Chains A and B, each alone.
Chain A
Amino acid sequence: QEQLVQSETEVKKPGASVKVSCKASGYAFSGYYMNWVRQAPGQGLEWMGWINPNTGGTHFAQRFQGRVTVTADTSMDTAYMDLDNLRPGDTAIYYCARFRGYSSGGIFSWYFDLWGRGTLITVSS
């Protein structure tokens, strides 16, 4: 059974850092890009970035560049997301989500086909 198991809820103070883990099982971890998506309380989904576990290559939404680091340990089938200099506005559920590619009408694209259950990060003084 394919699944993504994320680390537990954390409470952090402003200015601190947090590391969220996402352990994959049931499929070839290195073969699929992994994304991070967050959702603030009562708000919508916000894409943060992705990692190619095979190469370590990453790409992030501009608003997170310089503050987020995503790594992958292929020996542990686990992806990690580090977010630095936390602010109260970073309070959210952080999801990891696997990319699956597809081709339709000659256009190649991606969708998020497998999601973790989310990790709640609360930033409060």
Chain B
Amino acid sequence: DAKTTQPPSMDCAEGRAANLPCNHSTISGNEYVYWYRQIHSQGPQYIIHGLKNNETNEMASLIITEDRKSSTLILPHATLRDTAVYYCIVRVAPGNQGGKLIFGQGTELSVKP
């Protein structure tokens, strides 16, 4: 699975958009970009995933560059409860039994009042 690079930490003001970047320059054509987050002392929570098109759900938006070498997770209106470590992971497509979720160091997002 391709390696990802994320900034170790970011701050965001409550109510503002949080934009979390991720570099995955060695991503393969059959690898998806997944985002999970982990609130302190809890299990990881799925946020969103995509292949090459931008994706949006009730939690966030995922913007993937045209060359697929980087992506940005956007939390449109961050709240204090969004304070967590955010992990960007690339893995083979759903449906392929070989794909394992390997976690990097992630970005620790602090949402401040």
**A and B: real partners?**
no
List residues of chain B with CB under 8 Å of any chain A CB. Answer: none
